[in-house]
């Protein structure tokens, strides 16, 4: 199962895909591999856990950043906007991961009590240029989309 969205210039905005999970007597082994689920060198890893009820995360985009989001426990809802298309994706612990181009506006809500979200990034935080104003995002993505 793959769900792909592209900017109007053809570049990848997001891709929801599955990763293999091997069930063993002792538990499960999930495998994420460079060249399979993502195509960038990992420079930073962060995670979200113990989120409060009604927590809203994200509500921003980035000028340049590649990320892979993995919900390892529980579930959450992520709203995505690439300037042309808006989608809502439910991420949970069932072996799907979400690749995001930085220019995608994202908002994460409806975290389950036990949610654990791990994010792999292609740049260190100090080099990350966050866009937290929706109008600025629309200008940036408008240029990306040839508007």
**Residue 128 has what pLDDT?**
78
**Residue 53 has what pLDDT?**
85
Q: pTM value?
A: 0.89
**Does 79 score more than 90 pLDDT?**
yes
Check if 60 is active-site: yes
The number of distinct structural domains making up the chain is 1
How far is 57 from 49, CA to CA, in rounded Å?
12
- Domain extent for 55: 3-144
Q: Which CATH number characterizes residue 69's domain?
A: 2.60.120.10
pLDDT in tens, 26-57: 999 999 999 889 999 999 999 999 999 899 99
- pLDDT-derived band at 99, boundaries 50, 70, 90: very high
Distance between start and end Cα atoms, the chain: 32
Catalytic residue among 60, 62, 79, 143: 60
């Amino acid at each position: 199962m793959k769900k792909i969205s592209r900017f109007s210039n053809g570049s990848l905005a997001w891709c929801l895909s599955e990763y293999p999970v091997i069930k063993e007597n002792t538990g499960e082994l999930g495998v994420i591999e460079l060249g399979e689920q993502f195509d960038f060198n990992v420079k930073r890893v962060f995670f979200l856990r113990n989120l409060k009820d009604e927590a809203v995360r994200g509500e921003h985009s980035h000028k340049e950043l590649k990320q892979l989001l993995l919900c390892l426990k529980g579930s959450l809802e992520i709203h995505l906007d690439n300037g042309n298309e808006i989608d809502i994706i439910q991420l949970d612990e069932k072996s799907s991961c979400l690749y995001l181009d930085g220019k995608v506006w994202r908002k994460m809500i409806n975290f389950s009590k036990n949610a654990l979200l791990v994010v792999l990034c292609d740049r260190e935080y100090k080099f990350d240029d966050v866009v937290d104003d929706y109008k600025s995002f629309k200008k940036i993505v408008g240029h990306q989309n040839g508007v």
